[in-house]
């Protein structure tokens, strides 16, 4: 027998259990975030006949940055193995949609929303090295203890950035130094190393977690070479000024680095239109109650268009677009 959604009443056992389950999950995040942060995939199951086409729709919504927040997440959604994914940064969706960079083909991705998250990918060095450009870095070949990220998207971006400048991670080892990967930009070993001076180079994003500490302890951020920026744009990356965001400091206005902003929520193009529509409607209902990687609650109109904090270079899902247009956000 096919499941008939018309039998579900506002206070039915089905909805009561669903509400309890989602609130327990949210409570686990609030109470023990380290237990949950890298493990969650939300699955909505459709009971009865799997061929039933009506609501409720079965879907998987992956939120874990550890295994589905970057390149793998875009591939999983694009291949239909996940229905909805939350990526970081926006350029991952851009590259996957266009079939550029690490993606050998284009994927049928559509956006449901993009959350603001200002960030940059940078190369930072200890100021006492006296190096102020990537060209000087190549010429002087200093012995460095380099802290870098270690996940699929940032690792690709870092290697691409270095390659565009005629370098590679192994170059630092060849110069007599070392490369020390960390899983997250906020790793305490990095912060302690910056403070003590033992870490004299960082190549990463996540500037909110280590950028101010680096500035306070005399590190300088190197501008990308113009030719390197052009090469990075071939992948889909965009250049951006280092200043003007949440990193506070006296930066040369000409200091251009790689944009690493945005948290897009993406879906496969085949996601049912009604589900996409109601997904965005639910997002608006809770918009002022949820946390953001931003100093203030963003307006709903920013979720459906490209902004500095949330670039959006792939099409909206038709269901999401319909909602935004009906409500006057587009």
For tokens 């203030």, the residue is: 296
Are 126 and 222 spatial neighbours (Cβ–Cβ below 8 Å)? no
pLDDT of residue 26: 77
- 42 phi/psi in degrees, rounded to 5: -85, 125
- What local confidence, expressed as pLDDT, does residue 66 receive? 67
Superfamily, domain 5-117+262-326: Periplasmic binding protein-like II (3.40.190.10)
Q: Where in the chain is the domain with CATH 3.40.190.10?
A: 5-117+262-326, 120-259
- Per-residue pLDDT tens over the stretch 53-75: 555 566 788 777 666 778 999 99
Q: Please report the pLDDT score of residue 308 as a whole number.
A: 93
Is 46's pLDDT higher than 80?
Answer: no
Report the alpha-carbon distance of residue 310 to residue 324 in Å, rounded: 16
Whole-number Å distance between alpha carbons of 162 and 154: 12
Domain spanning 120-259: which superfamily?
Periplasmic binding protein-like II (3.40.190.10)
Per residue, what are the HEC states of the chain?
A: CCCCHHHCCCCCHHHHHHHHHHHHHHHHHHHCHHHHCCCCEEEECCCCCCCCCCCCCCEEEECCHHHHCCHHHHHHHHCCCCCEEECCCHHHHHHHHHCCCCCCCCCCEEEEEEECCCCEEEEEEEHHHCCCCHHHHHHHCCCCEEEEECCHHHHHHHHHHHHHCCCCHHHHHHCCCEEEEECCCCCHHHHHHHHHCCCCEEEECCHHHHHHHHHHCCEEECCCCHHHHHHHHHHCCCEEECCCCCCCCCCCCCCEEEECCCEEEEEECCCCHHHHHHHHHHHHHCHHHCCCCCCCCCCHHHHHCCCCCCCCCCCECHHHHHHHHHCCCC
Q: Is the pLDDT of residue 135 over 90?
A: yes
Query: pLDDT higher for 46 or 189?
Result: 189
With bands split at pLDDT 50, 70 and 90, how would you rate the model's confidence at 37? low
Residues 151-165: pLDDT tens digits?
888 999 999 999 999
Residues 6+ away with beta carbon under 8 Å from 176: 143
């Amino acid at each position: 027998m096919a499941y008939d959604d018309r039998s579900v009443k506002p206070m039915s056992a089905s909805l009561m259990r669903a509400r309890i389950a989602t609130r327990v999950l949210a409570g686990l995040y609030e109470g023990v975030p380290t237990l949950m942060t890298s493990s969650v995939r939300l699955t909505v199951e459709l009971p009865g006949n799997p061929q039933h086409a009506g609501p409720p729709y079965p879907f998987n919504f992956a939120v874990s940055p550890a295994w589905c927040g970057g390149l793998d997440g875009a591939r999983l959604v694009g291949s239909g193995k996940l229905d909805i994914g939350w990526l970081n940064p926006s350029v991952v969706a851009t590259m996957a949609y266009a079939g550029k960079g690490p993606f050998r083909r284009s994927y049928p991705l559509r956006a449901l929303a993009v959350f603001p998250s200002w960030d940059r990918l940078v190369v930072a060095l200890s100021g006492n090295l006296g190096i102020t450009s990537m060209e000087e870095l190549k010429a002087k070949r200093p012995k460095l203890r380099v802290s870098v990220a270690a996940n699929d998207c940032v690792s690709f971006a870092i290697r691409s950035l270095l390659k565009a400048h005629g370098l590679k991670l192994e170059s630092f080892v060849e110069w007599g130094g070392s490369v020390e990967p960390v899983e997250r930009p906020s790793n305490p070993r990095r912060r302690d190393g910056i403070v003590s001076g033992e870490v004299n180079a960082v190549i990463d994003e996540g500037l909110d977690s280590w950028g101010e500490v680096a500035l306070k302890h005399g590190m300088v951020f190197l501008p990308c070479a113009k030719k390197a920026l052009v090469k990075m744009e071939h992948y889909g990356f965009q250049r951006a000024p280092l200043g003007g965001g949440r990193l506070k400091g006296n930066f040369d206005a000409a200091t251009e680095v790689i944009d690493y902003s945005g948290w897009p929520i993406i879906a496969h193009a085949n996601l049912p239109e009604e589900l996409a529509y109601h997904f965005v409607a639910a997002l608006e209902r809770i918009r002022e109650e949820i946390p953001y990687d931003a100093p203030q609650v963003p307006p709903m109109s920013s979720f459906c268009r490209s902004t500095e904090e949330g670039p959006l270079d792939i099409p909206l899902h038709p269901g999401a677009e319909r909602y935004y247009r009906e409500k006057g956000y587009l």
